[in-house]
């Protein structure tokens, strides 16, 4: 069927041509630009008979090629059109396609991939050319528009060289131009999207009437065509594209979004510690002195360190007093000492009394996954400090940033942070008025360049408090709670080795215990309970164990207590209990009567004997085959004392007066001495331990009666102090003491 439409193109429907090649319906169109609009209005439909066309395609072999103009096609009658198409097919049959024309060829697809690969299955067509070729010549120029070409076992890929309006529209939608994207982003739609579906033209109405008045279609088919058209037309009218109703709202939202992003970027870049690839500190590094309520009056037990820092604070308050004599402000003060001795508390006191800007930062804050962030943070810290000089910069846990430099190839940039810190503290440019206050409990790990004068001029060792210091600390913390009849002298004596943090924790635990017991005041009972908790660990539940376990534990702890009681120069006994304390089933604690500054050889041997008492008691009472693993921690401590005596203290005659230092290496042999030397050391350690064990066994054999009485008392009372152990050893008895069960019932 050849039809003429109202558009500026001539559309030829070659339905019959497709039916001759394949049973499925396939339509191909050939589009030619319009030359004469008047000819299109008078065009009439021409029907080509499929049978005659098929017969003509088989029989016509020698017909000249005829140039076909658009006007000639419109003026021809039915038979002439068929003859011209046949002649064109024959002419193309005699003229094979050239290789450069394959891009202008369209192939008819089969029902499956196998048909496309092995040619069409129609048996009636055996010639290479199975369909005619249409030549349309306009202005005497021959142009091949469409060719159906069949070839046996061809491997050509189907290619189309024409584009329809639909494909162009789809390509524009998938990959729109830049300006279209800008318009769409700002809410400005195109003209097609702004309006409704285009209205139909008069020629379109005429064609619709011809379709509806088609006599070949049945009434049911016409009805369905009309219903489908009405539904589609109605759906198209209801499809309203986005217009300018909300365009301004969308524009405002987009402007607001862009403004917010710009504001966030500006704030990030303008932040003092921020910027591109800059990570700020985790908190505010500058401390307002008004926010610090700690003064030197709150610092007790570290008088030497407090006096040194008082001099620094006085220099900051009255610099003219010292500069008149030519003195200079110290560059840095390093606080060194065990954990819990009050180094950070001293820094807080400096911040509270200095009256100058105070900067606080922790050493681990300089560590970052990005290379160069640590050095940058050091620069930012000292830049801010120089702007507000005179000031104090406190670096807590400075060993994290000031550790010894390394030559490791695994991390070649590891030294950037410490190098920057060294340069800032005492480099080419002097830091006038900036005091660096550092705190660490690992002085050996610090770099030597950091410890030299000019960087840390003053080094203060903050030691554990002595008896007077502990008494002052206890008075300070006990004054903050409600107490009744507290003996601080006794508490100061029985807390030897406690740091300031331990004493604060003990007082706090006593207050919590008093609140649990619903007491009105904190008494000595609560404080002693808190001291034992800090010293030995929290209490466990004795009732969960059977009698056999309690009996073994009682004889084990009684062995420790008796050996310590009867051994000269042993640490005085404080308390023994079979109540579980921490990971142990029982515990025997010792307490020095005064502060200890040095330990003698006899004291070390006596302590070893006390530790061996538990294992010796198990062997004597239950037999060598019934010893338990409860003495493992005792053996570890005893071995440590013996090795220290031989390797470090020079208390072995065979090894001599030398210090054996172990060289701990990651790889290789860490043994620096000859095998004979190591054998001598091992023999001496073994000898000391064996002799200590024999002495403990001898004491328990001699006082086996007291050992049994002490174990039975532990099973009855669960906990005994030094006076109770002395009463049992001296056979005075414990007639005035209540059992643990009776005391619990009376308390209830």
What domains sit in the chain, N to C, each tagged with a CATH number? Answer: 296-463 (3.40.50.300), 468-534 (1.10.8.60), 541-663+672-730 (1.20.58.760)
Q: Where does the pLDDT of residue 268 fall: very low under 50, low under 70, confident under 90, or very high at 90 and above?
A: low
More confident site: 138 or 248: 248
What percent of the chain has a predicted confidence (pLDDT) above 70?
63
Q: What is the pLDDT of residues 115-127, one digit of tens each?
A: 666 554 544 444 4
Q: Name the token pair of 449.
A: 């360049």
Give the bridge partners for 359, in sequence order: 286, 393
Q: Where does the pLDDT of residue 128 fall: very low under 50, low under 70, confident under 90, or very high at 90 and above?
A: very low
User: Which of 3-7, 412-416, 633-637 is the most confident on average?
Assistant: 633-637
Is the pLDDT score of 138 beyond 80? no
pLDDT for residue 98: 47
Q: Find, among 291, 293, 268, the residue nearest to 278 by Cα.
A: 268
Of 365, 557, 684, 718, which residue is the catalytic one? 557
Instruction: Convert 527-536 to b/e letters by CB count within 10 Å (16 or more is b).
Output: bbbbbbbbbb
pLDDT for residue 187: 59
Distance from C-alpha of 525 to C-alpha of 423, rounded to nearest angstrom: 56
Q: Name the token pair of 675.
A: 């095998």
DSSP H or E run through 435:
strand 434-440
Q: Name the token pair of 468.
A: 């007077």
Distance from C-alpha of 557 to C-alpha of 575, rounded to nearest angstrom: 10
Given the structure tokens 């559309």, which residue do they identify?
11
Backbone phi, then psi, for 218, in 5-degree steps?
-75, 170
Distances (CA, A) of 268 to 262, 263, 273, 383: 10, 9, 9, 19
Beta strand residue intervals within 355-398, DSSP E? 358-362, 391-396
Distance from C-alpha of 581 to C-alpha of 575, rounded to nearest angstrom: 12
pLDDT for residue 642: 95
**DSSP readout, 32-45?**
EE-S-HHHHHT---
pLDDT for residue 406: 76
- In the three-class reduction of DSSP (H, G, I as helix; E, B as strand; rest coil), residue 343 is classed as helix
DSSP H or E run through 720:
strand 719-721
How far, rounded to the nearest angstrom, does the alpha carbon of residue 640 sit from its chain's CA centroid? Answer: 41
- In the three-class reduction of DSSP (H, G, I as helix; E, B as strand; rest coil), residue 414 is classed as coil
Mean pLDDT of the chain: 74
Residue 359 in contact with residue 287, Cβ under 8 Å? yes
Backbone phi, then psi, for 150, in 5-degree steps?
-115, 135
Q: Where does the pLDDT of residue 454 fall: very low under 50, low under 70, confident under 90, or very high at 90 and above?
A: confident
User: Which of 53-57, 222-226, 297-301, 556-560 is the most confident on average?
Assistant: 556-560
Q: Name the token pair of 342.
A: 């009050």
pLDDT for residue 131: 40
| H helical segments located in 65-150 | 70-75, 78-94, 113-118
Is the pLDDT score of 95 beyond 60? no
Q: How crowded is residue 429: how many other Cβ atoms within 10 Å of its Cβ?
A: 10
Given the structure tokens 């008819």, which residue do they identify?
108
Residue 278 in contact with residue 376, Cβ under 8 Å? yes
pLDDT for residue 34: 42
Q: What is the pLDDT of residues 617-662, one digit of tens each?
A: 999 999 999 999 989 999 999 999 999 999 999 999 898 888 887 7
More confident site: 519 or 147: 519
Q: How crowded is residue 492: how many other Cβ atoms within 10 Å of its Cβ?
A: 22
pLDDT for residue 85: 52
Distance from C-alpha of 595 to C-alpha of 525, rounded to nearest angstrom: 24
How far, rounded to the nearest angstrom, does the alpha carbon of residue 195 sit from its chain's CA centroid? Answer: 53
Q: Where does the pLDDT of residue 670 fall: very low under 50, low under 70, confident under 90, or very high at 90 and above?
A: low
More confident site: 178 or 27: 178
Rounded average pLDDT over 241-262 = 73
Distance from C-alpha of 665 to C-alpha of 662, rounded to nearest angstrom: 9
Q: How crowded is residue 592: how many other Cβ atoms within 10 Å of its Cβ?
A: 13
Is the pLDDT score of 565 beyond 60? yes
Instruction: Answer yes or no: 557 catalytic.
Output: yes
pLDDT for residue 267: 73
Q: Find, among 443, 424, 444, 442, the residue nearest to 434 by Cα.
A: 424
Pairing of strands 141-147, 358-362: unpaired
Q: Find, among 572, 340, 345, 590, the residue nearest to 465 by Cα.
A: 340
Residue 110 in contact with residue 22, Cβ under 8 Å? yes
pLDDT for residue 731: 78
pLDDT for residue 48: 52
pLDDT for residue 144: 39
Is the pLDDT score of 702 beyond 90? yes
Q: Find, among 318, 285, 293, 302, the residue nearest to 392 by Cα.
A: 285
Residues 116/118/123/128 CA torsion (nearest 10 deg):
90
Pairing of strands 358-362, 286-287: antiparallel
Give the bridge partners for 141, in sequence order: 138
Is the pLDDT score of 92 beyond 90? no
pLDDT for residue 737: 55
Q: What is the pLDDT of residues 308-328, one digit of tens each?
A: 888 888 888 887 887 788 777
pLDDT for residue 458: 87
Preceding amide of 390 cis, omega within 30: yes
Rounded average pLDDT over 724-733 = 85
pLDDT for residue 237: 58
- In the three-class reduction of DSSP (H, G, I as helix; E, B as strand; rest coil), residue 599 is classed as coil
Q: Where does the pLDDT of residue 137 fall: very low under 50, low under 70, confident under 90, or very high at 90 and above?
A: very low
Rounded average pLDDT over 484-496 = 89
Integer-rounded Cα Rg, in Å, for the chain is 52
Distance from C-alpha of 478 to C-alpha of 481, rounded to nearest angstrom: 6
Distance from C-alpha of 147 to C-alpha of 497, rounded to nearest angstrom: 105
What percent of the chain has a predicted confidence (pLDDT) above 90?
25
Q: Find, among 337, 574, 289, the residue nearest to 440 by Cα.
A: 337
pLDDT for residue 22: 41
Lowest mean pLDDT among 29-43, 189-203, 296-310: 29-43
Q: How would you class 495 by CB atoms within 10 Å of its CB: exposed for 0-12, middle for 13-18, buried for 19 or more?
A: buried
pTM of the model: 0.59
Residue 533 in contact with residue 507, Cβ under 8 Å? no
Distance from C-alpha of 302 to C-alpha of 337, rounded to nearest angstrom: 11
Is the pLDDT score of 708 beyond 80? yes
Distance from C-alpha of 748 to C-alpha of 745, rounded to nearest angstrom: 5
Q: What is the pLDDT of residues 344-394, one digit of tens each?
A: 899 888 888 887 888 888 888 887 766 777 888 888 888 888 888 788 899
DSSP H or E run through 477:
helix 467-478
Is the pLDDT score of 712 beyond 60? yes
Beta strand residue intervals within 208-298, DSSP E? 286-287
Q: Where does the pLDDT of residue 53 fall: very low under 50, low under 70, confident under 90, or very high at 90 and above?
A: low
Q: Find, among 474, 479, 477, the residue nearest to 496 by Cα.
A: 474
Residue 507 in contact with residue 474, Cβ under 8 Å? yes
Lowest mean pLDDT among 46-55, 147-156, 503-512, 675-684: 147-156
pLDDT for residue 5: 40
pLDDT for residue 373: 78
Given the structure tokens 């009684």, which residue do they identify?
558
pLDDT for residue 229: 72
Q: Name the token pair of 381.
A: 């810290």
| H helical segments located in 95-246 | 113-118, 165-174, 178-185, 191-194, 202-212, 219-238
pLDDT for residue 618: 95
Residues in the chain: 748
Q: What is the largest CA-CA distance in the chain?
A: 146
Residue 514 in contact with residue 522, Cβ under 8 Å? yes
Given the structure tokens 């950070």, which residue do they identify?
344
């Amino acid at each position: 069927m050849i039809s003429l439409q109202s558009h500026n193109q001539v559309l030829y429907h070659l339905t019959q041509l497709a039916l001759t090649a394949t049973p499925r319906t396939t339509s191909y169109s050939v589009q030619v630009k319009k030359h004469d609009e008047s000819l299109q209005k008078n065009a009439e439909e021409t029907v080509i008979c499929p049978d005659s066309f098929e017969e003509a395609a088989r029989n016509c072999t020698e017909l000249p090629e005829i140039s076909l103009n658009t006007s000639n096609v419109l003026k021809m009658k039915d038979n002439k059109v068929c003859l011209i198409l046949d002649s064109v097919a024959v002419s193309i049959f005699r003229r094979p396609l050239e290789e450069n024309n394959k891009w202008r060829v369209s192939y008819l697809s089969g029902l499956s991939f196998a048909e496309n690969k092995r040619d069409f299955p129609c048996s009636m067509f055996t010639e290479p050319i199975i369909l005619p070729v249409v030549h349309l010549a306009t202005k005497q120029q021959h142009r091949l528009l469409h060719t159906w070409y069949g070839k046996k076992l061809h491997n050509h890929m189907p290619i189309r060289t024409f584009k329809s309006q639909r494909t162009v529209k789809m390509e524009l939608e998938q990959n729109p131009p830049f300006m279209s994207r800008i318009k769409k982003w700002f809410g400005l739609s195109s003209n097609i999207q702004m309006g409704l579906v285009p209205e139909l033209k008069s020629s379109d109405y005429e064609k619709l009437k011809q379709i509806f008045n088609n006599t070949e279609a049945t009434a049911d088919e016409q009805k369905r065509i009309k219903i489908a058209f009405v539904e589609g037309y109605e759906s198209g009218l209801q499809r309203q594209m986005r217009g300018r109703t909300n365009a301004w709202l969308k524009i405002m939202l987009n402007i607001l979004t862009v403004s917010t992003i710009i504001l966030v970027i500006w704030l990030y870049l303008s932040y003092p510690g921020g910027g591109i690839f800059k990570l700020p500190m985790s908190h505010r590094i500058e401390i307002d002195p008004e926010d610090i309520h700690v003064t030197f009056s709150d610092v007790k037990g570290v008088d030497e360190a407090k006096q040194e820092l008082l001099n620094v604070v006085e220099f900051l308050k009255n610099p003219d007093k010292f500069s008149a004599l030519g003195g200079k402000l110290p560059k840095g003060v390093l606080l060194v000492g065990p954990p819990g001795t009050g180094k950070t508390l001293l820094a807080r006191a400096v911040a509270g009394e200095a009256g100058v800007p105070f900067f606080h930062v922790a050493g681990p804050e300089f560590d970052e996954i990005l290379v160069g962030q640590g050095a940058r943070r050091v620069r930012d810290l000292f830049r801010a400090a120089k702007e507000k000089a005179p000031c104090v910069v406190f670096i807590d846990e400075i060993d994290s940033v000031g550790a010894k430099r390394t030559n490791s190839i695994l991390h070649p940039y590891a030294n950037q942070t410490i190098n920057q810190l060294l340069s800032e503290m005492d480099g080419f440019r002097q830091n006038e008025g900036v005091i660096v206050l550092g705190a660490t409990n690992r002085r050996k790990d610090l770099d030597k360049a950091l410890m030299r004068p000019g960087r840390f001029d003053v080094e203060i060792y903050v030691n554990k408090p002595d008896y007077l210091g502990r008494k002052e600390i206890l008075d300070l913390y006990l004054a903050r709670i409600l107490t009744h009849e507290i003996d601080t002298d006794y508490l100061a004596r029985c807390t030897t080795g406690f740091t300031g943090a331990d004493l604060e924790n003990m007082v706090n635990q006593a207050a919590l215990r008093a609140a649990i017991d619903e007491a009105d005041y904190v008494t000595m009972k609560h404080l002693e309970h808190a001291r034992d908790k800090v010293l030995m660990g929290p209490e466990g539940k004795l009732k969960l164990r059977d009698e056999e376990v309690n009996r073994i534990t009682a004889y084990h702890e009684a062995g420790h207590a008796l050996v310590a009681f009867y051994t000269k120069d042993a640490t005085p006994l404080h308390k023994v209990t079979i109540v579980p304390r921490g990971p142990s089933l029982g515990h025997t604690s010792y307490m020095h009567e005064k502060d200890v500054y040095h330990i003698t050889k006899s004291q070390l041997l006596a302590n070893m004997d006390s530790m061996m008492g538990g294992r010796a008691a198990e062997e004597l009472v239950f037999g060598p085959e019934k010893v338990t693993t409860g003495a493992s921690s005792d053996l570890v401590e005893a071995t440590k004392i013996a090795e220290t005596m031989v390797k470090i203290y020079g208390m072995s005659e065979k090894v001599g007066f030398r210090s054996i230092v172990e060289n701990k290496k990651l790889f290789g042999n860490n043994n620096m001495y000859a095998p004979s030397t190591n054998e001598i050391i091992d023999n001496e350690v073994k000898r000391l331990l064996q002799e200590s064990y024999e002495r403990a066994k001898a004491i328990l054999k001699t006082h086996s009666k007291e050992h049994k009485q002490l174990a039975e008392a532990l099973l009855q009372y669960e906990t005994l102090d030094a006076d109770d152990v002395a009463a049992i050893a001296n056979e005075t008895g414990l007639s005035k003491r209540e059992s643990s069960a009776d005391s619990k019932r009376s308390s209830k």
